[in-house]
């Protein structure tokens, strides 16, 4: 009996460092939990759009802010001021003195696209998996989440979205379009106001 207990103890001792690693592997689940933990965040961004026929990328910059569960604001300051607000099912764009409102339920392709970023910020795995196949590489300190549209029609527009980050912070959002154009947005977290 004692021998058996010893064996178990030994096994437990041997397994200890391994077990610690196995209990906390860097998984999608943990990434999402970490992201979902963030209730509100602000960041500055610089977005570079690479368009095939252009010699240089187009650059825009401004501020992003997210408030859980579903409010995402993108305030562009350069080259021209504009405000993009995603709240619930409504996308509002203010630009050049005009306000355009879009109901995402009647524009599923726009909805799927915006959900890739909002869903990631919210750590809403269900929302992401509704439209994308997810894969995660790297470690907690430097991860890359790749989203590939599940729907073929969507894939005809967006080839993939790659989001890179450290812990619960996003650092880069890269969108690769099917026609070869792409955009790279670098994000720098700002202290909460």
Partner 1 sequence: MTRRARLPLAAWLATIATAAAVVAGARYTADLSAFLPRSPSATQQLLVDQLRDGALGRVVLIAIEGESAPARAALSRALATALRSDARFSYVANGAADGTEREREVLFEHRYLLSQQVNPERFAPPGLRAALADTLDLVASSAGALAQSVLARDPTGELHALLETQLSGAARPAYAGGVWSSRDGERALLVAHTAAAGADTDAQESAHAAVRAAFAAAAANSPVPQARLRMTGAGVFAVESRAQIKDEALRVSMLGILLIGALLLAAYRSFVALALGLLPVLTGALVGVAAVAAGFGVVHGITLGFGATLIGESVDYAIYLFVQTGNAAADADRRGAWIRDFWPTIRLGVLTSILGFASMLLSGFPGLSQLGMYSVCGLVAAALFTRYVLPGFLPAGFGVHDLTPLGTRLERAVALAGRGRWLVPALALAAAVTLLAQRESPWAQDLSALSTVRTEDQLYDGKLRADLGAADARYLVVTSGSDAEAALGAAERAAQALRPLVAAGVISGFDSPARYLPSVATQRARAASLPGPGELRARLRQALHGMPLRAQRLEEFVADVARARSGPGLQRADLEGTAMGVALDGLLLRRTGDWQALLPLRAPTSGPGALHIDAARVRDALAGSGALFLDLKAEANALYTGYLGEAIVLCAAGLVAVLVLLLFVLRSALRVWRVAAPLGAAVLVCAAVLAVAGQTFTLLHLVGFLLVVAIGSNYALFFDRSADRGAPAPVVLASLALANATTVIGFGVLASSSVPVLRAIGSTVALGTLLALLFAALQAGRRANGR
Pick one of 133, 179, 180, 190: the residue that binds partner 1 (CB under 8 A).
Answer: 179
Q: What DSSP state is assigned to residue 90?
A: E
State both tokens at 170.
């996003």
Q: Rounded to whole angstroms, how far apart are CA atoms 82 and 98?
A: 10
Least CB distance from residue 116 to partner 1, whole Å? 14
Least CB distance from residue 95 to partner 1, whole Å? 6
Least CB distance from residue 88 to partner 1, whole Å? 12
User: Contact 87/75 with Cβ under 8 angstroms?
Assistant: no
Site string for partner 1, 132-171 (x = CB under 8 A): ----------------------------------------
Question: 113 vs 143, which CB is nearer to partner 1?
Answer: 113
Structure-token match 């979205």, residue found: 161
Q: What angle do CA 150, 73, 108 make, to 5 degrees?
A: 30
Whether residue 69 is preceded by a cis peptide bond, meaning omega within 30 degrees of 0, is yes
Q: Rounded to whole angstroms, how far apart are CA atoms 175 and 184?
A: 7
Site membership for partner 1, residue 98 (CB under 8 A): yes
Pick one of 51, 68, 144, 184: the residue that binds partner 1 (CB under 8 A).
Answer: 51
Site membership for partner 1, residue 5 (CB under 8 A): no
Q: How many CB atoms lie within 10 A of CB 64?
A: 25
Binding site residues, partner 1, CB under 8 A: 47, 49, 51, 53-56, 58-60, 74, 76, 79-80, 82, 84, 89, 93, 95, 98, 100-101, 103, 105-108, 179, 181
């Amino acid at each position: 009996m004692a021998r058996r207990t010893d064996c178990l103890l030994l096994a437990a001792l041997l397994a200890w460092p391994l077990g610690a690693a196995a209990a906390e592997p860097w998984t999608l689940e943990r990434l999402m939990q970490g992201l979902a933990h963030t209730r509100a965040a602000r960041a500055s961004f610089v977005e570079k759009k690479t368009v095939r026929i252009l010699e240089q990328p187009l650059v825009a910059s401004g501020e992003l802010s997210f408030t859980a569960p579903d409010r995402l604001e993108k305030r562009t300051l350069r080259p021209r001021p504009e405000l993009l607000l995603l709240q619930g099912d409504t996308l509002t764009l203010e630009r050049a003195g005009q306000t355009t409102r879009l109901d995402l339920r009647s524009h599923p392709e726009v909805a799927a696209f915006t959900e890739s970023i909002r869903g990631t910020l919210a750590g809403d795995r269900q929302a992401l998996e509704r439209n994308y196949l997810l894969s995660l590489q790297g470690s907690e300190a430097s991860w890359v989440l790749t989203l590939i549209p599940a729907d073929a029609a969507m894939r005809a527009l967006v080839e993939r979205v790659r989001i890179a980050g450290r812990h619960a912070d996003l650092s880069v959002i890269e969108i690769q379009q099917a026609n070869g154009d792409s955009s790279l947005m670098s994000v720098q977290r700002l202290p909460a106001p």
